[in-house]
Structure 1
Amino acid sequence: MTSRPVALVTGAAKGIGLAISRRLAADGFAVALSDIDIREAEARAVELPDAVSLEHDVRNPGHARRVVEETLTRYGRIDVLVNNAGTNIHSHPTAEITDEDLDFVLDINLKGTFYSTRAVIPTMQAQKAGRIINMSSVLGLKPAPYVAPYVASKFAVTGLTQSLAAELAKDGITVNSVHPGIVATELHDRVTEGLSRLRGVSLDAATDYFEKEIPLGRYQTVDDVAALVAFLASDAAKDITGSSFKIDGGMGVA
């Protein structure tokens, strides 16, 4: 048990998820870092003041239930769920995308978000309070070619967020989505490599292409995204629900 507010972050072992976990810990949260890579999650959890690592394949609904149960056993409550775990494939023309590619992306990005959320709802309803923050993408609001499964999954997460916000407001639970633009992570590296292959250009040229798509002229950082999530987890955001927050350097309006 803890006197701190408690956050459960999926995909927390690296990248955006790790930055979110670190920021929430700095803001006074106890943090449950869930990830399929349990060794990396364990290594990162020991760096935080009050954290636990939990093995979690978000594609497995049983894992979602277990992770929620173990977090409750450790801390007694869950105040914030951050559905951060996500994936993408290399950029491909849609006609070349396999059934396995489609299932892989939808199972993690959409079903994973759904399973974890479904598992935590009864706890938050009993508390009459909670924050659910879903990681979508600027491509969950403004589509792009050659990444159809990813775009479909992120549009779905946006819609899921709005449906849940309408359903859960009566229980004191807010649900919002965060829409990063281009963040320098391993996930984006796959997209850059795919664009390089599709256009027959170097990786540097592909990177330049993406930078030119951003009106502010720079990639966002994992800490930029973590700061927005921390705001949505804070008391300052208590009356915000069903909203989509872009952090994309202006890509969504370009």
Structure 2
Amino acid sequence: MTTTLITGANKGLGFETARRLVAAGHTVYIGSRDADRGHLAAERLGARSVQLDVTDDASVAAAVKSVEADGGLDVLINNAGIEERGANNTVIGAADVTADLMRSTFETNVFGVVRVTHAFLPLLRRSAAPVVVNVSSGLASMARVTAPDTPTYTYPGVAYPASKTAVNLITVQYAKAFPEMRINCVEPGYTATDLNGHTGIQTVEQGAEIIVRMAQVRPDGPTGGYFDAAGPIPW
């Protein structure tokens, strides 16, 4: 049986991804910063819960020990992420972005991905078919953000897209370093979740589709790629 850990999985895209993978027969760990919320989410889904704050070394190390004690890990989905917004849920643009805001965003979205991936690498490397899925964004596509005829062109924020572009590069470098693994980044689409104040235009069911698909990629499947539900997308 495939064992999967999803960070930030007590709600939103992470929760829907967990629901779908439990239905597909995976043993799923709901990684949640809040242990109580994670436990409740896991109970609802028939999953397992593990307290996991991606910004905290001790929390991640403890999560590794818990998952290892139960048998190991095959699939890691780095889903936890933040998009800090201003008053009235407004995106913080270039005029107002600060180094502190960038640092805070990168701590979760970038350093969190590295922290968790690095910590779980020993378990993943023991798996017969290890998979890593990094949840990115279409806003990470330099090709799209610089193309005036795309919706992403008008997005004014700096911190969030910069962090997700970094995640894309991290994904490529990890994929080259570990060719025996399938390591990809995905763009769920503009999904209505707490992250964006539920301003997204699609459901979590729609958004989770590409995450679930790439979590189940076969050993002969793609690696080092960037995908949305329609297929590969430009960097």
> Shorter-chain-normalised TM-score: which range?
0.7 to 0.9
Q: Counterparts in 2 of 1:143-162, with a 5 A limit? A: 143=145, 144=153, 145-162=155-172
SS at match of 2:156: coil
Q: Counterpart in 2 of 1:185?
A: 193
Contact in 2 for aligned 1:13/1:34 (Cα 8 Å): yes
SS at match of 1:20: helix
What's the offset of the Cα at 1:93? Answer: 2.6
State the alpha-carbon separation in 2 of the partners of residues 87 and 235 from structure 1: 26
Q: Counterparts in 2 of 1:1-254, with a 5 A limit? A: 4-49=1-46, 51-74=47-70, 76-90=71-85, 91-141=91-141, 142-143=144-145, 144=153, 145-169=155-179, 172-189=180-197, 219-236=201-218, 238-247=220-229
State the alpha-carbon separation in 1 of the partners of residues 190 and 221 from structure 2: 28
What's the offset of the Cα at 1:227? Answer: 2.4
State the alpha-carbon separation in 1 of the partners of residues 115 and 189 from structure 2: 25
State the alpha-carbon separation in 2 of the partners of residues 182 and 245 from structure 1: 14
Whichever residue aligns with residue 68 of structure 1, its letter is: V
Whichever residue aligns with residue 138 of structure 2, its letter is: V
Identify the range of structure 1 (225-234 vs 77-86) with the bigger mean alpha-carbon deviation.
Answer: 225-234
Which structure is larger by alpha-carbon Rg, 1 or 2?
A: 1
SS at match of 2:224: coil
Query: Cα distance 1:66–1:231, how it changes in 2: closer, same or farther (>3 A)?
Result: same
Contact in 2 for aligned 1:87/1:187 (Cα 8 Å): yes
Contact in 2 for aligned 1:220/1:247 (Cα 8 Å): no
SS at match of 1:95: coil
TM-score (norm 1): 0.79
Query: Cα distance 1:235–1:182, how it changes in 2: closer, same or farther (>3 A)?
Result: closer
State the alpha-carbon separation in 2 of the partners of residues 232 and 100 from structure 1: 33
SS at match of 2:102: helix
Among the aligned pairs, what percent are the same residue? 30
What's the offset of the Cα at 1:222? Answer: 1.3
What's the offset of the Cα at 1:140? Answer: 1.0
RMSD (Å) for aligned C-alpha atoms: 2.1
Q: Counterpart in 2 of 1:200?
A: none
SS at match of 1:180: coil
Q: Counterpart in 2 of 1:202?
A: none
State the alpha-carbon separation in 1 of the partners of residues 140 and 35 from structure 2: 29
What's the offset of the Cα at 1:223? Answer: 1.5
Query: Cα distance 1:27–1:240, how it changes in 2: closer, same or farther (>3 A)?
Result: same
Contact in 1 for aligned 2:129/2:218 (Cα 8 Å): no
Contact in 1 for aligned 2:187/2:210 (Cα 8 Å): no
Q: Counterpart in 2 of 1:201?
A: none
TM-score (norm 2): 0.85
Number of paired residues? 218
Long gaps (5+) in structure 1: 193-206, 208-218
What's the offset of the Cα at 1:89? Answer: 1.3
